Amino acid sequence: MATAERRGPNRETLNSALKWGVPLAGLAALLTIGISNNTCPSEGSIWLRYTIFGLRSGAIYAMIALGYTMVYGVLQLLNFAHSEIFMIGTFAGLYTIKSLFRVGPNAHLGPAFLVVVLAVAILFGALASGITAVVMERVAYRPLRKRGVSRLAYLITAIGVSLTLSNLFLLLDGKKHLGIPVAWPAIGGPAGVSYPPTIQHTPVFSVAGVPVDRPTFLVIAVAVAMLFVLDRFVHRTRTGQGIRAVAEDPETASLMGVNVDRIIVITFLVGGLMAGVAGVLYGVFFGQAQFNIGFVPGIKAFTAAVLGGIGNIRGAMLGGLLLGLIENYGVACIGAQWQEVFAFLVLVGVLMFRPSGLLGERVGG
Amino acid sequence: MSRETDEEMESQSKRAQEATPGGVEEPGGRWQERARTQYREWTSPVRAGLRHSREWFDKLPPPARWALTAALIAAAAVVPFVLNHALGITAPYWMSIVTKMGTAALLALGLNVVVGFAGLLDLGYVAFFAVGAYTFAILTGASRYNIAVFNQVPGAAALKPEWHMYMWLFFFAAIAVTMASGVVLGAPTLRLRGDYLAIVTLGFGEIVRITANNLTSITNGALGINQIPNPHINVGSFHYDFGLNNAPYYWLLLGFIVIWIFLLRRVDSSRIGRAWAAIREDEVAAAAMGVPTVRMKLLAFAMGAAVASVGGVVYASQISYINPDSFQLFSSDFGSVIILAMVVLGGMGGFAGPIVGASLIIFLPERFRALGDSRFLVFGLVIIIVMILRPQGLIPSRRRARELGGGETRDASVYEVQEHAR
């Protein structure tokens, strides 16, 4: 911290005591709680189980984090409404599943049909989120950008968008949870009807004796595929190059013939698509959606983006996975009621020890 | 209209032309510019009136200004009586809303120090409100009573807290604890740039809520704490029970608001206020000129926290019941984000702005309560529209407008803190 301050040695000591002491004390307190509860599992297989859980939630955080980090990269905007984009993906996916699942007598559904339903749900969820993100940019953010208003005005607008979207879904769906059909095999289905076990909670394969069930496998596989595609997109295509250029320096990029407006729209679109896919996966996994479902994953995804280095796309992926792991190990050792706290402690820790994130705060890297 | 309004209109259209070189304009900008022009036409009498009354007020001799201010405070103080007379049976309802406005205004004025003066984006402000309220609830013994009742400890009823005069001291205790928590949070994080600070404070807000939920042995967890005593005044033969009425709490809040504005005006026009302004405009330059940036930011943080804790104590003693869910980020009344919206809607950096913003944001959802669940939808839309039409807030601070260089910047960016950081 090379700030040019006039501080006496005493103040220096006090400041560094505060700076390092507070997080260390927090860590010590957490460890004490963990040790006194003595719930840290000793078996390796339990750790492995939590690792799989961690990768699963981490994959979802990573996909949401990409939207945050890309928008932050090009606009330096903390897009508060991104969690609502995620929420819309969940709703769109579950509505799609609900409507498609009514088609035809269930008894004749084969595994292929379920795969198609899932694929269509993911597609629709991604499209709904992507389109919402683009409309949001067009209606709410672009007018502000054209006038070059303050960043705080941006942020407040983002909060307004977030409120509007979540309350829109509160109206559409009420305060009840949108559940997916009881017959949906993920929840087991009513007795007596045999469903093709495409995404039942049955193990696909097991790692060292720990089973990986179908939804988990689905989440991780789809997420890895999406992350790979996105990485190629950003690094290997002209548009991706444009995104990196705008993130680096919008003015120079526009002088070089990059259409900045178009790139920004594409950034929102891509971020929205990823959040939509994540939303559908989240919805399929938990089997429900609610108007405020996006808040907690959204905040954690932002933490993941910062952990990896904001603006850094690979950093967001790494940060998401790491955050999922840390969180689940924390749950394993200390207790599930503190689950939401770990992410923030990690965030504070990262910001203190490595403010630019693990992979560094660059853009398009 | 007035001469100035015309000038402003002219500069407005000039700027619109500048913004669109060669007459080519993005479709995203055109409707929005038209909406702004329309908005300016419709509201120009109001804005001109506002500006004229401000200028008139500035030109008054100081005694007249003081008298006017005193009259304004007196007018605010008689609001409960007026409401009682004018509204009859619905008066208590509106009085509760006015009291809520008072709490909100106090919080908005406190957050304004952090956001408007020092330019730090704090999204966890409700945490300080919660720390204040919980400190008070724990100190008065209400928490102990609740836990004893819950655990069916024999003789728990005897623990029920009664108000004693010394409990007024708990206001100061709560302020001290909350300020300390502000320093503890601020010391490691205030070195970071703005957006990170925003997310860390957001996290802090959540941590406080979750901790209040989980530390059952101290805070009674999700059940919350009830029977927090209402204040009394017992001085000699004078007895006054705050009880369940709203009016005394309203006066208490009004008193705190007046004290706070008085203090803050002095601080703002002192060395500290100039240091804040310097940090807000360009932190690196301020540090280079010898402003102790971290200390000044910590001071702003601690002062904001102190005000929030006062709000929390008054809230806890009025409602007599708190639980962790009273302190959610988006909770309808005093969530961090809602308070920030009050400050920004009203206009940062001034005194009238946050009060107006707080009143509006409490009032609008109440007014639209008939809309049921959709009122927050309307609320969100209103925020977006205001940000498009008037991003500097309804009543922007004059000093900030001037600092940024004359009339032209009345609409210009007022939050450019750490733009250089990238």
Closest approach of chain A CAs to the CA of B176, in angstroms?
A: 17
- Within 8 A by CB and 6+ apart from A210, the residues are A45, A48, A49, A52
Judged by CB atoms closer than 8 Å, whether chains meet at A151 and B415 is answered as yes
pLDDT band at B412 (very low <50, low <70, confident <90, very high): very low
| Mean pLDDT score across all residues of chain A | 77
Taking an 8 Å cut-off on Cβ atoms, the answer to whether B210 and A338 are in contact is yes
Contact flag A351-B196 (C-beta cutoff 8 Å): yes
Give residue B256's pLDDT.
Answer: 92
Contacts of A20 in chain B (CB under 8 A): 188
Task: Name the more confident of B77 and A176.
Answer: B77
What the block records as the tokens of B313 is 């104590």
Q: Which of A235-249, A300-314, B40-54 has the lowest mean pLDDT?
A: B40-54
Decide if pLDDT at B43 tops 50.
yes
Minimum CA–CA partner of A135 in chain B: B28
Query: In this structure, what token pair is assigned to residue A76?
Result: 């330096």
Q: Find the mean pLDDT for residues B28-53.
A: 75
Tens digit of each residue's pLDDT (9 = 90 or more) over B60-105: 888 888 888 889 888 888 888 888 888 878 888 888 889 989 999 9
The count of other CB atoms within 10 Å of the CB of residue A220 is 19
The CA distance from A43 to the nearest CA of chain B, in Å, is 27
Q: Tell me, what's the pLDDT at B421?
A: 36
Contacts of residue A4, Cβ cutoff 8 Å, sequence gap at least 6: B287, B288, B290
Task: Answer whether A289's CB lies under 8 Å from A94's CB.
Answer: yes
Query: Is residue B257 predicted with pLDDT exceeding 80?
Result: yes
| Residues on chain A touching B292 (C-beta within 8 angstroms) | 5-7
Length, in residues, of chain A: 365
Which among B84, B2, B108 has a CA at the least distance from the CA of B51?
B2
> Domain-by-domain residue ranges, chain A?
58-294
Beta-carbon separation of B422 and A76 below 8 A: yes
Distance from CA of B388 to the nearest CA of A (A): 6
Distance from CA of B20 to the nearest CA of A (A): 10
CB contact under 8 A, B28 and A143: yes
CB contact under 8 A, B383 and A340: no
Angstroms from B150 CA to nearest CA on chain A: 20
Which among B188, B329, B340 is the nearest to A348, CB-wise? B188
- So what's the pLDDT on residue B306? 92
- Flag whether the ipTM exceeds 0.90: no
Q: Do residues B341 and A128 lie in contact, with contact meaning Cβ atoms separated by under 8 Å?
A: no
pLDDT digits (tens, 9 = 90+) for B372-393: 666 677 778 877 887 777 777 7
Q: What is the pLDDT of residues B289-344, one digit of tens each?
A: 988 888 899 999 899 999 999 999 998 888 888 888 888 776 656 778 788 888 88
With tokens 């992350």, the residue in question is A227
Chain B CB contacts of A295 under 8 Å are 329-330
Residue A4: which of B287, B381, B417 has the nearest Cβ?
A: B287
Mutation pick from A75, A84, A159, A264 vs chain B, by most beta carbons of B within 10 Å, is: A159
CA distances from B405 to A190, B45, B389 (A): 70, 24, 21
Measured CA to CA in angstroms, residue B365 lies from B345, B360, B375 at distances of: 15, 9, 6
To 5 degrees, how large is the angle CA B114–CA B116–CA B118? 50
- Asked if residues B388 and A143 have their Cβ atoms less than 8 Å apart, the reply is yes
CB < 8 Å to B214, chain A: 337-338
Give the mean pLDDT of B113-142.
88
Cβ-Cβ contacts under 8 Å, B195 against chain A: 72, 76, 78, 310
Q: How far is residue A57's CA from residue A53's CA, in Å, rounded to a whole number?
A: 6
Q: How far is CA A355 from CA A14, A349, B285, in A?
A: 21, 9, 21
pLDDT (0 to 100) of residue B408: 37
Please report the pLDDT score of residue A130 as a whole number.
94
Query: What's the one-letter identity of residue B273?
Result: G
Nearest to B210 among A4, A150, A340 (CB): A340
Average pLDDT, chain B: 78
Residue B330: its chain A contacts at CB < 8 A?
163, 295
Which range is most confident: A331-335, A342-346, B68-72?
B68-72
SS3 B14: helix
Q: Which of B18, B387, B408 to mutate to test the interface with A (most CBs of A within 10 A)?
A: B387
pLDDT tens digits for range B170-198: 888 999 999 988 888 887 778 776 667 77
Q: In this complex, which of A6, A160, A348 lies closest to B384 when CB atoms are compared?
A: A160
Per DSSP, the residues of A302-353 read HHHHHHH-TT-HHHHHHHHHHHHHHHHHHHHHT-GGGHHHHHHHHHHHHHHH
Continuous segment of H or E residues that includes residue B380 = helix B375-389
Q: Within chain A, where are the H helices? A: 9-37, 44-75, 82-101, 111-136, 142-147, 151-173, 214-236, 238-248, 250-255, 260-286, 295-308, 313-333, 339-353
**How far apart are the CA of A191 and the nearest CA of chain B, in angstroms?**
37
Residues of A with Cβ-Cβ distance to B202 under 8 angstroms? 299
pLDDT of residue A105: 45
What gap in Å lies between CA A111 and CA A197, rounded to an integer?
A: 7
Of B198, B387, B392, the CB nearest to A160: B387
**Above 70 in pLDDT, residue B401?**
no
pLDDT reported for residue B418: 34
CB count within 10 Å of CB A46 equals: 13
Distance CA B83, CA B236 (A): 31
Q: What distance in Å separates the CA atoms of residue A199 and residue A217, rounded to the nearest whole number?
A: 9
Distance of CA B244 to the CA centre of its chain: 24
Quote the distance between the C-alpha of residue B196 and its chain's center. 21
Please tell me the predicted confidence (pLDDT) of residue B246.
84
More confidently predicted of B10 and A66 = A66
Q: What is the pLDDT of residue A186?
A: 44
**How buried is residue A208: exposed, middle or buried, by Cβ count under 10 Å (0-12/13-18/19+)?**
exposed
Q: Looking at the predicted structure, is the pLDDT value of residue B44 above 60?
A: yes
Q: 3-state SS of A233-248?
A: HHHHCHHHHHHHHHHH
Q: Do A3 and B191 touch (CB under 8 A)?
A: yes
Candidates B192, B341, B388; nearest CB to A355: B192
DSSP SS3 for B393 = coil
pLDDT at A135 (0 to 100): 92
Tell me the residue type at B290. Answer: G
What is the DSSP code (8-state) at residue B391? T
Chain A CB contacts of B290 under 8 Å are 4, 6
Binned at pLDDT 50, 70 and 90, residue A191 comes out as very low
Could you write out the three-class secondary structure of B318-367? Answer: HHCCECHHHHCCCCCCCCHHHHHHHHHHHCCCCCHHHHHHHHHHHHHHHH
- Please provide the CATH number assigned to the domain covering B60-343: 1.10.3470
Interface test with B, best of A13, A76, A147, A246 (most B CBs within 10 A): A147
**Which residues of chain A have a CB within 8 Å of the CB of B389?**
none
Name the residue type at position A20.
Answer: W
CB contact under 8 A, B413 and A167: no
Q: How far apart are CA A200 and CA B381, in angstroms?
A: 41
Q: Could B341 and A156 be called an inter-chain contact, meaning their C-beta atoms sit closer than 8 Å?
A: yes
- Higher-pLDDT residue of A243, A340: A243
Look at residue A11 in the predicted model and tell me its pLDDT: 62
Rounded to a whole number, what is the distance in Å from the CA of A365 to chain B's nearest CA? 15
- Report pLDDT for A176: 59
- Nearest-angstrom CA–CA distance, A167 and A181: 24
H-run or E-run covering B280: helix B271-281
Lowest mean pLDDT among A164-178, A320-334, B147-161, B389-403: B389-403
CA distances from A25 to A22, A338, B73 (A): 5, 17, 46
Round to whole Å and give the CA distance between A89 and A294. 10
Helices A295-308, A82-101: axis angle to 10 degrees equals 130
Inter-chain residue contact A167 with B377, CB threshold 8 Å: yes
In the predicted model, what is the mean pLDDT of residues A185-214? 53
- Residues B55, B56, B59, B63: is their CA dihedral positive or negative? negative
pLDDT of residue B30: 66
Tell me which chain B residues have a C-beta less than 8 angstroms from the C-beta of A261. Answer: 26, 28
Mean pLDDT of A272-281: 92
Instruction: Determine the residue among A20, A163, A249, A261 to mutate to test chain B binding: the one whose Cβ has the most chain B Cβ atoms within 10 Å.
Output: A163
Three-state DSSP class for A176?
coil
Contact A160 B32 (CB under 8 A): no
Tell me if A164 and B380 make a contact (CB, 8 A cut-off).
yes
* Residue B363 CA from chain centroid, whole number: 14
Q: Do B191 and A161 touch (CB under 8 A)?
A: no
- Cβ neighbours of B200 in A, within 8 Å: 344, 347-348, 351
Question: At which residue do the structure tokens 């015309």 appear?
Answer: B6
Which range has the top average pLDDT, B10-24, B55-69, B120-134? B120-134
Q: Which residues in B lie closer than 8 A to residue A72 (C-beta atoms)?
A: 195
- Smallest CA–CA distance, residue A59 to chain B, in Å, is 21
Give how far B377 is from chain A: nearest CA, Å.
5
Give whole-number Cα distances, B212 to A47, B229, B304, B381, B412, in Å: 29, 20, 21, 33, 41
Q: Where are the domains of chain B?
A: 60-343
Instruction: Determine, for residues A144 and B387 on separate chains, whether the beta-carbon distance falls below 8 Å.
Output: yes
Cβ atoms of residues A86 and A275 within 8 Å: yes
Higher pLDDT, A174 or A157: A157
What is the pTM for the complete model shown? Answer: 0.78
What tokens does B167 get? 């409990």
Is the distance from CB of A307 to CB of A319 less than 8 angstroms?
yes
- More confident of the two residues A108 and B336: B336
The pLDDT tens digits of the residues spanning A23-78 come to 677 667 766 666 666 667 677 777 888 888 888 889 999 999 998 888 888 887 88
pLDDT band at B19 (very low <50, low <70, confident <90, very high): very low
For chain B, report the end-to-end CA distance as a whole number of angstroms.
44
What average pLDDT does the segment B52-63 reach?
82
Tell me how many residue pairs between chain A and chain B have CB atoms under 8 A apart: 185
pLDDT of residue A329 exceeding 90: no
SS3 A154: helix
Q: Is A89:A126 a contact under the CB 8 Å cutoff?
A: yes
Candidates A72, A135, A142, A150: best to mutate against B (most CBs of B within 10 A) is: A150
Query: What does DSSP say about strands A178-179 and A203-207: parallel, antiparallel, or unpaired?
Result: unpaired
Distance between CA atoms of B401 and B392, rounded to whole angstroms?
9
Q: How far is B137 from chain A (nearest CA, A)?
A: 23
Q: Which long-range contacts (CB under 8 A, 24 or more apart) does A289-292 make?
A: A289/A87, A289/A90, A289/A91, A289/A94, A289/A173, A289/A177, A289/A178, A290/A173, A290/A175, A290/A176, A290/A177, A290/A178, A291/A87, A291/A166, A291/A167, A291/A169, A291/A170, A291/A173, A291/A175, A292/A87, A292/A166
- Smallest CA–CA separation between A323 and chain B, in Å? 14
* For residues B194-214, average pLDDT: 80
Q: Which residues of A touch B201 (CB under 8 A)?
A: none
